[in-house]
């Protein structure tokens, strides 16, 4: 016993000496490992830092020039690959209005463009698209300028690039390497999806800027929530180029870099404003709902959801009901359920009120300010209102939507935290 006391005394002395040795303002390093949400957000931010500094970003403007030439010549801009990726580009606030989801059997001509995005190399959604039509150079793909976006750290894409019969593609086959990590663990799964979407939008806004340098005005959708957005959409629907207003040329490479920098800033802002703490609270609510036998009714506004969202088997009671606008006078919730509104811009007052009236609780992600309310877990979003982040003088609406890119780390933090709680 005396020996134990002496040991404890020495430990106290050593701690005091080490504390006194710290310089003014210096703190003792926190020995605790970062949480799940912190790791996932850190992984995404590290990818942005590496990609923005790399020479890969410089590959986008020359390719965007070629695509712009095809569109000016009357070609169509098709999108395919993961269904969630195709949805992300389709009828999108901040995107070109003429984008069309490619359907099997659609024949493409020499002025057409096909952009394919793979967000996760071996998920169910990735397997919907048959990669063999690219590697073998079948059908209409041989006519169109074809762009494939994914990570060449993924062995599936490496092999596909090696096998592709590029000589069959008369307008060219291009692989854009996102340099995302191999998809092992939630952080890497998330970063892979972030990378494909972010690079694709960087290319997209470079196409927009290339059109301006060629004297053309890009037809860019505004959000349905933006003043006049829905009315304007009707005037440009199906078009990539419009006659008015006249737009000054935008420097090559400017918009792509700015887009990535804004996305990085918005992800960091969510983390820095305590978003990860609120995510952990939301994950706790989801785990509690599972354990009491309820359903997590998930309303997911935006375009990437729900096709692109991976869900762990432990969260078997997550139910993607649909987008928020489909939730009208729904009376099926029970007290053991939870409403998860994985939102976009607006606060879903009617949906939340219905859930609370049923005795359920609610988790709400929204840009709108959320008033504190009992049984409502609020998660404030950090992207700009109406989603588009880039300003082009005289263009009616901003190109470059950031919401899906910025919200991916939030989704994977939410499900990864919930997965960990269910396994305790």
- CA distances 29 to 20, 25, 34, 120, Å, are 14, 12, 12, 36
Residues 347 and 264 in one domain: no
In a domain, 373, yes or no: yes
Question: Comparing C-alpha atoms, which of 204, 183, 203, 201 is closest to residue 192?
Answer: 183
Residues 262 and 280 in one domain: no
Residue-level pLDDT at 126: 84
Residue 88, classified by CB atoms within 10 Å of its CB into exposed (0-12), middle (13-18) or buried (19+), is buried
Question: Comparing C-alpha atoms, which of 32, 408, 423 is closest to residue 188?
Answer: 408
Residue, of 147 and 326, whose pLDDT is higher: 147
Over residues 93-104, the pLDDT tens digits come to 999 999 999 998
Torsion of CA 316, 322, 328, 332, to 10 degrees: -20
In a domain, 319, yes or no: yes
The mean pLDDT value for 342-349 works out to 88
Residue-level pLDDT at 329: 61
92/224 Cα distance (integer angstroms): 10
pLDDT of residue 116 exceeding 50:
yes
pLDDT of residue 10 exceeding 60:
no
Q: Which helix (H) or strand (E) holds 379?
A: strand 376-380
Residue-level pLDDT at 124: 83
The mean pLDDT value for 137-159 works out to 91
Among the ranges given (158-167, 292-301, 376-385), the one the predictor scored with the smallest mean pLDDT: 376-385
Residue-level pLDDT at 383: 85
Question: Comparing C-alpha atoms, which of 114, 106, 119, 107 is closest to residue 134?
Answer: 114
Q: What is the CATH number of the domain that holds 317?
A: 3.40.50.10490
pLDDT of residue 322 exceeding 60:
yes
The mean pLDDT value for 359-382 works out to 91
115/172 Cα distance (integer angstroms): 12
Backbone angles phi, psi at 185, to 5 degrees: 90, 155
Among the ranges given (125-139, 284-298, 301-315, 333-347), the one the predictor scored with the smallest mean pLDDT: 125-139
User: Residues 377, 282: contact at Cβ < 8 Å?
Assistant: yes
Q: What is the CATH number of the domain that holds 51?
A: 3.40.50
Predicted confidence band of residue 393 (pLDDT cuts 50, 70, 90): very high
What pTM did the predictor assign?
Answer: 0.90
78/91 Cα distance (integer angstroms): 12
Q: Tokens in use for 216?
A: 């053309």
Q: Which residue has the tokens 């209102």?
A: 385
The distance in angstroms from the start CA to the end CA of the chain is 37
With b meaning 16 or more CB within 10 Å and e meaning fewer, what string describes 275-298? bbebbbebbebbbebbeeebbbbb
Last residue of a domain, one of 239, 268, 297: 268
Residues 83 and 175 in one domain: yes
Residue, of 51 and 137, whose pLDDT is higher: 51
Residue-level pLDDT at 411: 97
pLDDT of residue 123 exceeding 50:
yes
The mean pLDDT value for 104-109 works out to 89
- Name the domain count of the chain: 2
Residue-level pLDDT at 155: 95
In a domain, 377, yes or no: yes
pLDDT of residue 293 exceeding 70:
yes
Residues 288 and 192 in one domain: no
In a domain, 107, yes or no: yes
pLDDT of residue 20 exceeding 70:
no
> Cα-atom radius of gyration of the chain, to the nearest Å?
24
Residues 356 and 252 in one domain: no
Structural domain containing residue 289: 274-381
The mean pLDDT value for 278-292 works out to 96
In a domain, 27, yes or no: no
With b meaning 16 or more CB within 10 Å and e meaning fewer, what string describes 350-385? ebbebbbebebbbbbbbbbebeeeeebbbbbbbbbe
In a domain, 243, yes or no: yes
Residue-level pLDDT at 309: 92
Backbone angles phi, psi at 422, to 5 degrees: -70, -25
pLDDT of residue 198 exceeding 80:
yes
DSSP letter for each residue of 144-183: SEEEEEE-TTSHHHHHHHHH--GGG-TT-EEEEE--PPPS
Quick check: helix, strand or coil at residue 79? strand
Residues 299 and 342 in one domain: yes
The mean pLDDT value for 155-171 works out to 94
Torsion of CA 414, 415, 419, 420, to 10 degrees: -30
Predicted confidence band of residue 188 (pLDDT cuts 50, 70, 90): very high
Predicted confidence band of residue 34 (pLDDT cuts 50, 70, 90): low
pLDDT of residue 330 exceeding 70:
no
Last residue of a domain, one of 268, 290, 315: 268
In a domain, 229, yes or no: yes
The mean pLDDT value for 205-209 works out to 98
Angle formed by the axes of helices 186-213 and 60-72, nearest 10°: 50
Last residue of a domain, one of 249, 268, 287: 268
Residue-level pLDDT at 2: 42
Predicted confidence band of residue 29 (pLDDT cuts 50, 70, 90): very low
């Amino acid at each position: 016993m005396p020996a134990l006391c002496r040991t404890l005394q020495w430990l106290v002395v050593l701690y005091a000496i080490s504390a006194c040795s710290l310089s003014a303002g210096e703190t003792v390093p926190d020995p605790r490992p970062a949480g799940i949400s912190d790791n996932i957000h850190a992984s995404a931010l590290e990818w942005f830092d590496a990609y923005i500094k790399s020479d890969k970003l410089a590959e986008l403007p020359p390719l965007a020039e070629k695509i712009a030439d095809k569109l000016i010549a009357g070609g169509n801009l098709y999108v395919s690959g993961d269904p969630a990726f195709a949805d992300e580009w389709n009828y999108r606030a901040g995107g070109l209005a003429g984008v069309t989801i490619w359907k099997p059997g659609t024949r493409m001509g020499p002025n057409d463009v096909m952009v394919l995005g793979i967000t996760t190399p071996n998920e169910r959604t990735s397997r919907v698209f048959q990669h063999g039509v690219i590697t073998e150079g079948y059908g209409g793909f041989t006519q169109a300028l074809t762009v494939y976006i994914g990570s060449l750290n993924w062995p599936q894409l490496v092999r596909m690039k090696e096998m592709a019969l590029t000589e069959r593609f008369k307008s060219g086959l291009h692989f854009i390497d996102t340099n995302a990590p191999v998809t092992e663990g939630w952080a890497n799964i998330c970063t892979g999806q972030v990378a494909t979407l972010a690079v694709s939008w960087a290319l997209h806004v470079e196409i927009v800027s290339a059109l301006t340098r060629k004297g053309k005005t890009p037809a860019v959708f505004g959000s349905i929530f933006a003043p006049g957005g829905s009315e304007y959409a009707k005037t440009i629907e199906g078009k990539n180029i419009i006659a008015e207003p006249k737009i000054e040329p935008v420097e090559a490479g400017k918009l792509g870099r700015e887009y990535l920098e804004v996305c990085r800033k918005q992800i960091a802002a969510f983390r820095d404003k305590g978003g990860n703490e609120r995510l952990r609270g939301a994950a706790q609510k989801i785990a509690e709902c599972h354990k009491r036998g309820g359903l997590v009714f998930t309303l997911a506004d935006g375009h990437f959801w729900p096709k692109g969202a991976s869900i762990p088997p432990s969260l078997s009671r997550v139910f993607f009901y649909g987008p928020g606008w489909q939730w009208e006078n729904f009376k099926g919730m029970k007290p053991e359920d939870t409403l998860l509104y994985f939102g976009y811009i607006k606060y879903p007052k009617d949906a939340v009120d219905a859930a609370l009236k049923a005795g359920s609780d609610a988790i709400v992600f929204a840009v709108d300010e959320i008033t504190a309310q009992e049984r409502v877990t609020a998660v404030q979003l950090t992207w700009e209102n109406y989603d588009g982040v880039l300003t082009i003088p005289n263009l009616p609406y901003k190109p470059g939507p950031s919401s899906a890119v910025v919200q991916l780390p939030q989704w994977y933090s939410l499900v990864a935290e919930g997965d960990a709680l269910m396994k305790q």
